[in-house]
Structure 1
């Protein structure tokens, strides 16, 4: 089994400082195999925000898979936005915009979906999808394949279709071809886990979507600050959601969701139904 901590939308420059140390301590206690941060490390891509984000990342265990978000590109500085869109991200966070972690149980592939030409929307290119195919080509059949982006490939029906990453259907066809199991993202400041079966009706394929809320931003959009702990086995995934407990000043376990894989299809799993033989 492999354990991943999934943080997203840190938004340094607009963080609740009271959350940082409790979050750091809990992440350290969890002792994850990989820490995933799915974008928006800063609020306005300012140097001091990246410096604060870098200091926080340095306090967390590794290895870390980090991808940028739309807030990590300068918004108001037109020159920096279009000529040097991720210059500060590369300088302070990582020069690798498409990081990869692979061991004998999981393959985690990060993909940059942030673009200068859009204010908040994300895109994935044909070249990036081809690179994902190539990176997963030599991965063994028993390895769980995970793709990390800032912008989501799927969301509940209550969200707009425009909130999804552009060219998502094209990418999903390749994900089905390469057997991608889990799609981890952020951006919406909303926690969610579910199957892609309803939106993408691909024969004998459905990935598991894992959305993280904002871990530390003051902009919760109606949801408490939260993050995910994802425990991965070849045929089973368990997702613990931790939410900020204002009364006790700590992150506490809020919910646990379980999913199982049958063939190449991930679906929710009910222990009670399984025990009853249903």
Structure 2
């Protein structure tokens, strides 16, 4: 089994600093095999915000798979936005925009979906999709394959189609061919876990999509600050969502969801029974 801590949308520059120490201490106790941060480390891509984000990340365990979000590209500085869109991110966080972690149980691939030409939307390129295919093609079939992006490939019903990452259907076809199991994302400041089966009707394939809320930002959009702890086994995934308790000033588990894999199809698992069979 492998344990991942999944943070997203830290938004340094609009951070609730009271959350930082309790979050760090809890992550240390969880002792994840991989720490995932799915974008928007800053609020406005300013040097001081990146410095603060970098300093905090340095207090957290590794290995770390980090991808940028749309807020990590300068919004108002036109030159930086279009000529040097992720220069500060590369300087302070990492110059690897598509990081990879692979061991004998999991493969975690980060993919940069942040783009200069959009204000908040994201996109995957043909090159990135082919890179995912190539990276996963030679892996042992027993390895659980995980793709991390800032912008989501799937969403709950109450969100709009335009919130999905651009070229998602094309990418999903390659994910099906490559056996991608889990899609981790952020961006919406809303927690969610589910199967891609309804949105993408691909024969004998459905990935597990896991959305993280904002771990530390003051911009909660109606949801408490939260993050995910994901326990991955070859045929089973268990997701604990931790939420901030404003009374006790700490994070605690607010719900747990389980999913099982049958072939290449991930399905919710409730009280010992597959949800699809209820």
TM-score band, normalised by the shorter chain? over 0.9
Aligned twin of 2:153: 153
Partner Cα separation in structure 1 for residue 39 and residue 13 of structure 2: 14
C-alpha distance in 2, partners of 1:110/1:273? 32
Matches of 1:177 and 1:260, distance apart in 2: 19
In structure 2, the partner of 1:187 is 187
Correspondence list, 1:213-228, <5 A: 213-228=213-228
- Please state if 1:104 is matched with 2:115: no
Distance (whole Å) between structure 2 residues aligned to residue 192 and residue 16 of structure 1: 22
**Pairing 1:14-25 to 2, within 5 Å after superposition:** 14-25=14-25
1:177 aligns with 177
- Pairwise CA distance, 1:273: 3.1
- Give CA-to-partner distance per residue, 1:131-158, whole Å, 9 cap, x none: 0001101110000000000000000111
Structure-1 residue corresponding to 2:262: 262
Deviation string for 1:226-272 (max 9, x for gaps)? Answer: 00000000000000000000000000110000000000000000134
Instruction: For 1:42 and 1:205, locate their aligned partners in 2 and report how far apart those are by CA, in whole Å.
Output: 35
Q: Which residue is equivalent to 1:244? A: 244
Secondary structure of the equivalent of 1:183? strand
CA distance in 2, matches of 1:82, 1:27: 36
Task: Determine the structure 2 residue equivalent to 1:116.
Answer: 116
Whole-Å Cα distance in 1 between the matches of residues 33 and 67 of structure 2?
17
Q: Report the TM-score when normalising by structure 1.
A: 0.98
Asked if 1:71 is matched to 2:71, the reply is yes
**Rounded Cα–Cα distance in structure 1 between residues aligned with 2:74 and 2:272:** 49
In the superposition, the TM-score normalised over structure 2's length comes to 0.98
SS of residue matched to 2:25: helix
Instruction: Give a deviation string over 1:139-193, Cα, whole Å, max 9, x none.
Output: 1000000000000000011100000000000000000000000000000000000
Spell out structure 1 runs of 4+ moving beyond 2 A.
Answer: 271-274
Distance 2:271 2:263 in 1: 19
Q: CA deviation at 1:224?
A: 0.1
Q: Unaligned stretches of 5+ in structure 1? A: none
Equivalent position SS for 1:269 = strand
Q: Could you say which residue in structure 2 is the equivalent of 1:164?
A: 164
Q: Which residue of 2 aligns with 1:82?
A: 82
CA RMSD of aligned residues (A): 0.9
Find the aligned partners of 1:169 and 1:184 in 2 and give their Cα distance: 16
- Match of 1:52? 52
SS at match of 1:129: helix
Unpaired runs of 5+ residues, structure 2, are: none
Question: Residue deviations 1:171-230, cap 9 Å, x none?
Answer: 000000000000000000000000000000000000000000000000000000000000
Q: Secondary structure at the match of 1:234?
A: coil
